[in-house]
């Protein structure tokens, strides 16, 4: 078995250098454990990718946990996951500390003003890219489109995912649910808007546990949940704070889910950052442990595959809806619109690492970029 120290050093290094989102993270992991070190054959690595696509949670983090389990048993299971998450969580917490202390200064606001159009462009590009790869027929396009429209109308994101899965199964229950969907109450912990300045730590932990337990698809789907819950329903955050949190997760290495770390800190300081991080990542460890035993069932079940097909299609719709909502809320002038379009075209043409675009937006903002 692979020594724990070797695994810890590998995943600490990946956690400090893995920019570019889950696909880039998994490509780096493949190079390290298949090509460079020969720990796993290609076939086994591909099997692990298939498993992660069948369970909720951050795919690249779950791949790290899977590899650790295969290479060093249960100690490796814990060490690999924690070491991959920890560097990003520490970096994002440091950024959140700076944000809380200096985020309202003119220079800091100018920087974030320059970053906002880039974040919206990144979400829009991810929606189109993942949509092209995922939406293969009229049924999946219809589910994605209907989900986007209902999300923009205020329907609960979690309920939308459930209904989309049922629609994909073709059940009568799905049709009944879809009729009552726009009026359905939000699921999950509810806290009155007036208490946003004193969010209970228990509510913060439970909320991110819920999100970590139900989130399928790209990490960008996280943003749709966060906006629907934390901005619109619970009023814990503003749209600008959400974009700032996403920018922090996008501009740092490691999983995008560390956006939760940033949010936890600005809501409840260091304790909030720790609890939000634990909450959103803990389900990934549980699901990976269960998947090891359930994989034969998951492989054989046509119903599960069809349900997940609907869930993933709906996830694309949620991403589209959040791109539209954030654009309306934060792109306040012609300069912002042009900047978003330019960033989007750059991503479309050259597919550069989005972290560089975030940095460029920050520099332009600092130099005096403003919406007009």
pLDDT digits (tens, 9 = 90+) for 116-135: 888 888 888 878 887 887 88
Rounded to an integer, what distance in angstroms lies between the CA atom of residue 279 and that of residue 77?
A: 18
**pLDDT surpasses 60 at 341:** yes
Is 90 exceeded by the pLDDT of residue 348? no
Tell which residue, 281, 289, 237, 278, has the closest CA to residue 256.
281
- Tell me: pLDDT of 183 over 50: no
The CA–CA distances, whole Å, from 169 to 140, 238, 318, 368 equal 12, 37, 20, 52
- Coil, strand or helix: which one is 2? coil
Interval 231-281: pLDDT, tens:
988 999 998 899 889 888 877 888 889 999 999 999 999 999 999 999 999
Mean pLDDT score of the chain: 83
pLDDT bracket for residue 285 (50, 70, 90): very high
Q: Which residue has the higher pLDDT, 19 or 325?
A: 325
* pLDDT band, residue 20 (cuts 50/70/90): low
**Residue ranges covered by each domain of the chain:** 4-366
What pLDDT digit, counting tens, does each position of 69-85 carry?
Answer: 999 999 999 999 999 99
Q: Could you give the dihedral angle defined by the CA atoms of residues 254, 157, 166 and 142, in that order, rounded to the nearest 10 degrees?
A: -90
Instruction: With cut-offs at 50, 70 and 90, classify the pLDDT of residue 217.
Output: low
332: part of which helix (H) or strand (E)?
Answer: none
| pLDDT tier for residue 171 given thresholds of 50, 70 and 90 | low
> Rounded distance, CA 99 to CA 80, Å?
29
* Alpha-carbon gap, residue 248 to 67, rounded angstroms: 27
Q: Name the H helices within the chain.
A: 4-17, 22-30, 42-53, 59-102, 106-134, 138-152, 157-169, 172-180, 201-214, 221-226, 239-251, 259-300, 302-330, 334-350, 354-366
Task: Find out whether 279 and 205 touch, Cβ atoms under 8 Å.
Answer: yes
300, two tokens:
């054989």
**Would you call 200 helix, strand, or coil by DSSP?**
coil
In whole angstroms, how far apart are CA 352 and each of 20, 281, 291, 346?
Answer: 9, 27, 34, 8
| pLDDT for 201 | 94
Look at residues 139, 126, 52 and name the one whose alpha carbon lies nearest to residue 313.
139
């Amino acid at each position: 078995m692979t020594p724990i120290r070797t695994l810890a050093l590998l995943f600490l290094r990946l956690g400090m250098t893995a920019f570019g989102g889950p696909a880039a993270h998994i490509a780096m992991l493949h190079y390290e454990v298949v090509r460079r070190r020969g720990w796993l054959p290609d076939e086994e690595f591909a099997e692990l990718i298939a498993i992660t696509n069948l369970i909720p949670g951050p795919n690249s983090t779950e791949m790290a946990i899977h590899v650790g389990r295969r290479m060093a048993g249960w100690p490796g299971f814990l060490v690999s996951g924690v070491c991959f998450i920890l560097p990003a969580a520490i970096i994002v917490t440091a950024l959140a500390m700076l944000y809380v202390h200096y985020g309202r200064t003119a220079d800091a606001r100018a920087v974030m003003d320059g970053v906002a159009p880039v974040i919206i462009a990144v979400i829009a590009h991810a929606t189109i890219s993942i949509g092209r790869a995922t939406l293969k027929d009229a049924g999946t396009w219809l589910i994605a489109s209907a989900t986007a429209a209902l999300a923009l109308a205020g329907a609960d994101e979690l309920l939308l995912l459930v209904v989309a899965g049922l629609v994909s199964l073709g059940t009568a229950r799905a049709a009944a649910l879809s009729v009552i969907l726009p009026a359905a109450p939000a699921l999950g912990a509810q806290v009155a808007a007036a208490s946003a300045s004193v969010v209970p730590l228990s509510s913060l932990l439970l909320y991110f546990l819920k999100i970590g337990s139900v989130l399928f698809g790209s990490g960008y789907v996280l943003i749709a949940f966060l906006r629907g819950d934390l901005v619109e329903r619970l009023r814990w955050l503003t749209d600008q704070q959400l974009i700032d949190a996403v920018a922090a997760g996008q501009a740092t290495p490691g999983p995008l889910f560390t956006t939760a770390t940033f949010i936890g800190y600005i809501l409840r300081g260091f304790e909030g950052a720790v609890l939000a991080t634990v909450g959103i990542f803990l389900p990934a460890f549980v699901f990976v442990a269960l998947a090891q035993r359930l994989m034969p069932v998951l492989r054989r079940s046509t119903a599960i595959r069809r349900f997940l097909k609907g869930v993933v299609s709906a996830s694309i719709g949620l991403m589209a809806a959040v791109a539209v909502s954030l654009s309306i809320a934060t792109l306040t002038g012609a300069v912002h619109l042009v900047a978003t379009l330019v960033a989007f075209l750059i991503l479309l043409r050259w597919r550069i690492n989005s972290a560089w675009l975030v940095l460029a937006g920050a520099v332009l903002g600092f130099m005096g970029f403003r919406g007009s």
